[in-house]
């Protein structure tokens, strides 16, 4: 595991964008696993700029996102499909038909999970998976207690996570209670994982992920078992590492 310590969020975002840009240069038809949320937004801004300047070419890239809220249609402003379109896909030269986010409104969510997992396999697996980290130490929406061997499945969101994500909604009551998420096994199958973390509020979760016991009560700790993880975190997030 390699740890890149940055002075702040801006520098973290640039380093994450560097890694994704390098992946695209080395393999222009990469399958990128993407995340949503505040942590990764700055990296997407930087990738948009690099695409506009001709430095990065998304034309052969395919993507699969980690997760989606159940009950939110793709055009809902808080859906993760909407997030991806507005932060990245609408602004780069990607073929949108090669971008994938699980459906939050499938009639049969369990069937949607099977379809999505098979899709990732059919694409040949994920070359680089970008992750953020929840305060609960979740990765994707795999909350504490989730079995490590899960593939894409339906989860009930932890109350802490709903509270954390309520900042994007009018009230906590509007935050969906369930989501479809890639499982821990799906995530761990990616060839390279880039974990981005910033801020003091994530320091305990990051210490648990990087230095704690590897156990389902700290889902991020499984990353210690991956052969190719790059952690890009600011000083504040790394402040509780021994």
Residue with tokens 């932060």: 87
Do 186 and 177 contact (CB within 8 A), yes or no? no
Q: Is 166 helix (H, G, I), strand (E, B) or coil?
A: helix
Q: Where are the alpha helices (DSSP H) in the chain?
A: 9-26, 38-52, 80-87, 109-122, 159-165, 184-188, 203-211
Query: Pattern of binders to ligand F6R over 16-35, x per CB under 6 A?
Result: -------------------x
- Compare residues 60 and 78 and give the one whose CB is closer to ligand F6R: 78
Task: List strand residue ranges (DSSP E) for 81-177, in order.
Answer: 99-100, 128-131, 153-156
- Binders in 69-88 for ligand F6R, by CB under 6 A: 80
Phi, psi (deg, nearest 5) at residue 44: -65, -40
Question: Considering the complex, what minimum distance in angstroms separates the CB of residue 5 from ligand F6R?
Answer: 18
> Quick one: which of 6, 23, 30, 36 contacts ligand F6R (CB under 6 A)?
36
> Quick one: which of 37, 71, 74, 144 contacts ligand F6R (CB under 6 A)?
37
Question: Considering the complex, what minimum distance in angstroms separates the CB of residue 54 from ligand F6R?
Answer: 28
The Cα 56–Cα 177 span in angstroms is: 37
> Quick one: which of 9, 138, 153, 220 contacts ligand F6R (CB under 6 A)?
138
3 alpha carbon, distance to own chain's centre? 18
- In sequence order, what are the residues at sequence separation of 6 or more whose Cβ sits closer than 8 angstroms to the Cβ of residue 76? 82
Contact region with ligand F6R (CB under 6 A), list: 36-44, 50-58, 93-101, 119-127 = 36-44
Question: Considering the complex, what minimum distance in angstroms separates the CB of residue 92 from ligand F6R?
Answer: 18
- Binders in 107-136 for ligand F6R, by CB under 6 A: 132-134
Where on the chain is the footprint of ligand F6R (CB under 6 A)?
35-39, 66-67, 80, 132-134, 138-141
């Amino acid at each position: 595991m390699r740890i890149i310590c940055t002075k702040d969020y801006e520098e973290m975002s640039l380093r994450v964008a560097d890694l994704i840009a390098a992946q695209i240069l080395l393999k222009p038809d990469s399958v990128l696993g993407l995340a949503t949320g505040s942590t990764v937004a700055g990296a997407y801004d930087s990738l948009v700029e690099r695409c506009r300047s001709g430095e990065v070419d998304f034309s052969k890239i395919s993507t699969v996102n980690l997760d989606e809220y159940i009950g939110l249609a793709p055009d809902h402003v808080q859906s993760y499909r909407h997030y991806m379109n507005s932060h990245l896909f609408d602004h780069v030269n990607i073929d949108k038909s090669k971008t994938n986010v699980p459906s939050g409104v499938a009639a049969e969510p369990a069937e949607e999970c099977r379809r999505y997992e098979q899709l990732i396999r059919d694409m040949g697996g994920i070359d680089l998976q970008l992750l953020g980290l929840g305060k609960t130490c979740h990765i994707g929406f795999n909350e504490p207690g989730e079995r490590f061997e899960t593939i894409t499945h339906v989860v009930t969101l932890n109350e802490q996570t709903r509270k954390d994500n309520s900042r994007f909604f009018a009230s906590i009551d509007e935050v969906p209670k369930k989501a479809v998420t890639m499982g821990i096994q799906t995530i761990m199958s990616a060839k390279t994982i880039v974990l981005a973390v910033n801020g003091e509020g994530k320091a305990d979760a990051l210490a648990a992920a990087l230095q704690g016991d590897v156990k389902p009560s700290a889902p991020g700790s499984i990353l210690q078992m991956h052969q190719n993880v790059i952690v890009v975190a600011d000083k504040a997030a790394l402040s509780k590492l021994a």
